[in-house]
Amino acid sequence: MMNEEKMTFKLVDGNGKEVKCEVLFTFESDDTKKNYIVYTDNTTDEGGNTRVYASTYDPNASELTLGAIETDAEWNMVEQIMNKLQESAKNESGADE
């Protein structure tokens, strides 16, 4: 198994607290011509699911600045990609056998 170094960054939440986040994946959309970052702060919701967030970002910027995903179409695209990756991960782990 490959030992992949996790990419992380820090955010300041609404309470002024610094939060370490882990990048799950990034991608560029041919449709919107924007770059997206999907990440987690490794906290869980009431159902025990890991919280995952998505934003736009500029991969060429010297400092990471997150932007809002502005449309339902963009959110649907991000959700579809997340669902595909989750299915792929399940299949690779043999969870469906």
CA geometry: angle 79, 52, 94, nearest 5 deg = 75
What pLDDT sits at residue 4?
A: 59
Residue 6 has pLDDT above 90, yes or no: no
Q: Looking at the chain, how many residues does it have?
A: 97
3 part of a folded domain: no
Range of the domain at 48: 8-93
Arithmetic mean of pLDDT, 11-26:
93
What pLDDT sits at residue 34?
A: 96
30 part of a folded domain: yes
Residue 17 has pLDDT above 90, yes or no: yes
Find how far residue 16's CA is from the centre of its chain. Answer: 22
Angstrom distance (rounded) from CA 33 to CA 28: 7
pLDDT digits (tens, 9 = 90+) for 21-51: 999 999 999 999 999 999 999 999 999 999 9
Could you tell me the pTM of the whole model?
0.83
If one counts the domains in the chain, the total is: 1
Angstrom distance (rounded) from CA 33 to CA 35: 7
Q: How many CA atoms lie within 13 A of 76 on its CB side?
A: 5
1 part of a folded domain: no
